C-alpha cells in the first residue's frame, strides 16, 4: 500500500459558536423592531434606524458604516443572510476563535459599507457584506494552507464566491459593491489577526492595519467630495 501524507487540520476553537448565534439573534430582534416601527413600508424609517445613506455619512454620521449590518429590507433578505451566517459563521468562529471572528465580521461589514458608500448612491442595508467577509477570511486560510483548504472545502468556497458576485452583477437591487468590500475587508482582517492560535508577525499586523486605515480614510474623503454640497 502506498503511503499518503494526510494534511494536518488547523487548530480550532472547541467552544460553542456563541458569537454567531448572538449576531443572528440581534439581526432577528432588530428586524422585529423594524416591523413594529413600519420600516417595511417606509424607507425613511429604515434610514433613521441606521441604513447606509451616503449624504448623512458624508456629513459625519460614520456609525452608519456599521449599523446597516444589523438591518434588513425584508423577511426573505433576513432569512437568506441568517442562514448563511449560521452555516458559515460556526465554521469561521471555530477557525478563528470568538474575538478574532467577531473582529473580522465587523471589520468586513464596515469595509462593505465603505465600498458601497463610494460606488453606490443608493440606500442600503443587510449583513451580506459582513458575511462575504467570512469568505474573505476563508481565502486567507487558503493562502496559508492550500492543501488543508482543498481537503476541507474543495472548490465549494470559490464557487460560492464566484456565483454570488456574478449574480450580484446581473440582478438589480443587490449591492454587489458591499459584497466586494466585505470580501476584501474580511481577507485583510484575517491577514492581520491570523487563525485561531496563530501568532501573526508584528510587522505584518501593523502594515495591514495601516493599509486598512488608509483605505478607509481614502473612501471617507472620496465620499465627502462626492456627496457634500460645496
**Cell numbers describing residue 230:** 460645496
What's the CA gap between 73 and 42, in Å, rounded?
10
The catalytic position among 13, 41, 120, 128 is 128
Kindly report the backbone phi and psi dihedral angles of residue 124, in degrees, each rounded to the nearest multiple of 5, phi listed first.
Answer: -145, 145
Catalytic residue status for 128: yes
Please report where in the chains the cell 449624504 appears, as a residue. Answer: 55
What's the CA gap between 27 and 127, in Å, rounded?
8
Which of left, alpha, beta for 38 (phi over 0: left; psi -120 to 50: alpha)? left
Nearest to 179 by CA among 128, 106, 104: 128
Catalytic residue status for 179: yes
Using the Cα atoms of residue 171, residue 70, residue 108 and residue 105 in order, give the sign of their dihedral. negative
* β-pair partners for 124: 52
Any idea which residues carry the catalytic annotation? 128, 179
Amino acid at each position: 500500500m502506498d503511503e499518503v501524507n494526510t494534511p494536518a487540520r488547523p487548530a480550532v476553537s472547541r467552544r460553542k459558536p456563541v458569537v454567531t448565534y448572538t449576531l443572528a439573534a440581534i439581526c432577528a430582534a432588530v428586524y422585529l423592531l423594524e416591523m413594529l416601527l413600519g420600516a417595511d413600508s417606509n424607507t425613511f424609517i429604515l434610514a433613521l434606524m441606521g441604513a447606509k445613506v451616503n449624504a448623512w455619512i458624508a456629513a459625519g454620521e460614520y456609525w452608519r458604516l456599521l449599523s446597516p449590518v444589523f438591518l434588513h429590507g425584508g423577511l426573505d433578505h433576513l432569512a437568506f443572510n441568517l442562514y448563511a451566517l449560521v452555516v458559515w459563521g460556526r465554521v469561521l468562529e471555530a477557525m478563528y476563535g470568538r474575538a478574532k471572528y467577531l473582529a473580522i465580521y465587523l471589520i468586513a461589514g464596515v469595509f462593505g459599507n465603505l465600498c458601497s458608500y463610494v460606488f453606490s448612491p443608493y440606500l442600503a442595508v443587510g449583513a451580506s457584506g459582513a458575511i462575504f467577509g467570512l469568505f474573505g477570511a476563508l481565502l486567507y486560510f487558503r493562502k496559508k494552507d492550500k492543501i488543508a483548504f482543498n481537503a476541507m472545502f474543495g472548490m465549494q468556497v470559490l464557487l460560492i464566491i464566484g456565483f454570488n458576485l456574478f449574480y450580484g452583477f446581473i440582478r438589480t437591487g443587490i449591492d454587489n459593491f458591499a459584497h466586494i468590500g466585505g470580501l476584501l475587508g474580511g481577507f485583510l482582517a484575517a491577514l492581520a489577526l491570523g487563525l485561531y492560535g496563530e501568532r501573526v508577525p508584528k510587522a505584518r499586523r501593523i502594515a495591514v492595519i495601516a493599509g486598512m486605515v488608509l483605505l478607509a480614510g481614502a473612501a471617507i474623503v472620496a465620499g465627502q467630495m462626492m456627496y457634500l454640497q460645496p
